[in-house]
Chain A
């Protein structure tokens, strides 16, 4: 491992000297702000997936600021987020009141050739369909697959692009969602990207090592297909096994989206998700249906959404406090991207 890392950094530092002579691109600045109102039909927070958590409140998501610059073959990305969505609800140490770096992405990249590049730092995870930034998601609330999967992976990865239709990534990573490894550089991950036909892209992902709940392996398929100008279909399926019968999860989510006008797209998210058995105790099973609209005007997107979840073990509550198998909520979010 030491030899491999030494070789990589030696190669990187040697070629960096050449890259400094190349022309620089302007500094890119982009980002988003988001705010939402949610009303839970049980009159209290009931659905435990990420974000949009406050009931009957006009609440904040986050302000997200992204900087990017390229100098020849070298580039960096730094993404800082401030606000509940970008701090306590998604960052490793924000809730501990010790320090929060507010960082969603912080990495450097070097394109050795047009086909081969290496990236090192703290990066949004390559696992899954949904992301932390509200700009990257169609739905405002998130799936169980997203909430239970990794958010970020710190590490070093190499990507080789065979063609526009096939690329392969392999990397070494810390445990999930940490700025500093607690169990060393303990995970190995890979991603095969294939694009069988124009408009259809599929990512086959594997991450094995230290993760949530112990050491385990997650296999993930994330794919989307723009079937026509107005219809897009997305799919995410994942299986996570924690070693020594430590549980894990499995699930699948389907994302059909239909553009009804230039500015209006309607979408559905249907999800089945289950936690795996631990020590003979069966895990919960969830089904969830989310109906979402995206109404765009310039950089602003309004996202009205209705969501209904079901679990036979009655983990939800009614407004009178009784346990029930169903939960529902309405939310209206406004996301501005710049």
Chain B
């Protein structure tokens, strides 16, 4: 019995802890997931290249918008699931912008501009987007839809956190990275 109560208390604590996790708000009032990572062993160039590799590996859901020698900007989509125990179905998608900026010794990344697009089951039993216009995730909604919106925000946070962790792991990994090959310089034999 003692173990049973202990288990219940642990579960409740976990649930309460989980509920506390939510997006921070950026300077512009939008939700943001922001991390600065110490990376002494990996150079700036490698961080940038690995970020590009990370995006390439998930090219169906993330696309690079722009990049420089020290940063990468990308747009992506995460599918939000509605899960009860082990079964469920997609309930919508979350569009976001990802920025990674690198310096020697550290890098930072953030995900923001979150927009949620709900899914609806179509005539073939597949879940598809009901609209092309997303609702900003930080939007305040009315009472009738508040409960559902809160669940979506919580699931979105969990998904974004997972994506952030996988990015960190990828950038820290020793996987072979194709560094850009500098074109060989032109040598003139006329003047010497």
Contact = CB atoms under 8 A, between A and B. Distances in A.
A binds B: yes
Contact of A263 (B60, B124, B144): B144
A222 to B, nearest CB: 11
B185 interface: no
Given A262-B142, A296-B145, A68 B123 contact: no
B132 A26 contact: no
A28 B133 contact: no
In this complex, the member of A28, A123, A131, A136 whose beta carbon has the largest number of chain B beta carbons within 10 angstroms is: A28
Contacts of B126: 68, 77
B170 interface: no
B123 A124 contact: yes
B145 A199 contact: no
B154 to A, nearest CB: 15
B6 to A, nearest CB: 30
Contacts of A125: 123
A157 B127 CA distance: 20
| Contact size range, A | 35 or more
A136 B144 contact: no
Contacts of B40: none
Contacts of A104: 125
B124 A124 contact: yes
B122 interface: yes
Given A26-B86, A30-B127, A232-B131, A297 B121 contact: no
Contacts of B88: 26, 28-29
A66 B145 contact: no
Contacts of A228: 133
Interface string A218-231: 00000000101100
A262 B141 CA distance: 7
Interface string B136-156: 000001101101100000000
Interface in B75-97: 86-90
A263 B147 CA distance: 12
B86 A105 contact: no
A199 B133 contact: yes
Contacts of A114: 60
A136 B133 CA distance: 19
A188 to B, nearest CB: 19
Contacts of B90: 28
Interface in A44-82: 66, 68, 77-79
A17 interface: no
A28 B125 CA distance: 10
Contact of A133 (B60, B86, B89, B121): B121
Nearest to A337: B121
B121 A296 contact: no
A27 B132 contact: no
B133 A297 contact: no
Contacts of A262: 141-142, 144-145
A297 B144 contact: yes
A198 interface: yes
B87 A27 contact: yes
Of B88, B125, B132, B141, the most chain A CB neighbours within 10 A belong to B125
Given A26-B88, A28-B89, A79 B133 contact: no
B120 interface: yes
B87 A26 contact: yes
25 contacts: A26-B86, A26-B88, A29-B88, A30-B127, A68-B89, A68-B125, A77-B124, A77-B125, A104-B125, A107-B124, A131-B123, A133-B121, A133-B123, A136-B122, A199-B132, A199-B133, A228-B133, A229-B131, A229-B133, A263-B142, A295-B144, A296-B144, A298-B145, A298-B147, A298-B148
Given A232-B131, A297-B145, 11 more contacts: A28-B88, A68-B125, A77-B124, A77-B126, A107-B124, A124-B124, A135-B121, A136-B120, A229-B131, A263-B145, A298-B145
